[in-house]
Structure 1
């Protein structure tokens, strides 16, 4: 059904209400000098829910590093039908759940962690571990245990993840 001219004029006359969104930041530290920072936004009303998914996120970006040198970046605006994109976030716990079976997070990297593009960067968390994809290659040396917490919060983070409580860190 098409909207008539009167309905369109009425909608255009409504005042523009600002969308309220929460912005969160996170930092991941893998093995062998690999780190990742990221940020995401979603409607702040979802803070009262049990789960935020990729369908709820309005802004998302990650940047990968090795020993402080930038490896690549992926942003939600780069999403295509071929992109691996699975996200779950528990706003009550302020963490990305790692339940123990399957793929839990796929941010431009699927379960094989090799589909991030070349050039490209992606992150995957599943029952095989948490790890990154760089230029279409599964970087196995980045892998940390799947159950390592990955939390988020309002404070910006640095590429080295040092000094941040917003940390997923390898426990050797």
Structure 2
């Protein structure tokens, strides 16, 4: 009984020591992506956060508001492209120009954005573009220049990149 209570307290404490962030990316030709990530509070003071400090991560891709696909880190396998670089002080996902890397974000889509599985969905931010992978195919028409910033918010965001304000 005491062990069960301690386990519940530890679980609640761990959940309380994390910060949630929501984000939205606007691509070309009506493509958008929303997402949510949870980062351990202890990592928020670091100058750069990578995927090892993320405890929850999910994305959904859309075209003109119609859902194309979803991915979350719970589906990750040994062959999944999974790289994340986030600057908590500036509240931005870093770009290749920031770090001088070829790829700074690989969310179930590597540098060629063609490895998201079939069926599958992923996002890539590399030195050529920011773009989608859908069902194992690079969606070149979704692409934006690699240094294009995208919205990060403490409140949820819809597929049109509008924030939802909390209701009391």
The 1-side partners of 2:147 and 2:45 are apart by 24
TM-score by length of 2: 0.86
The 2-side partners of 1:48 and 1:99 are apart by 22
- Which of 35, 49, 55 aligns to 1:38? It is 35
Instruction: Give a deviation string over 1:76-117, Cα, whole Å, max 9, x none.
Output: 100000100000100011100113240110000001100001
Which residue pairs with 2:72 in the alignment?
A: 75
Which residue pairs with 1:56 in the alignment?
A: 53
The 1-side partners of 2:5 and 2:34 are apart by 41
Which residue pairs with 1:107 in the alignment?
A: 107
Task: Return the offset for 1:46.
Answer: 1.6
Greater share of residues in helix: 2
Say if 1:28 and 1:36, in contact at 8 Å, map to a contact too. Answer: yes
Say if 1:96 and 1:151, in contact at 8 Å, map to a contact too. Answer: no
The 2-side partners of 1:151 and 1:23 are apart by 14
* RMSD value, Cα: 1.7
Computing the radius of gyration over CA atoms, which structure comes out larger, 1 or 2? 1
Listed as ranges, the matches of 1:125-164 within 5 Å are 125-161=125-161, 163-164=162-163
The 2-side partners of 1:130 and 1:58 are apart by 24
Which residue pairs with 1:88 in the alignment?
A: 85
Give ranges in structure 1 of 5+ residues lacking alignment. 1-9, 165-172
The 2-side partners of 1:102 and 1:108 are apart by 16
Give ranges in structure 2 of 5+ residues lacking alignment. 164-168
TM-score by length of 1: 0.84
Q: How many residues align?
A: 154
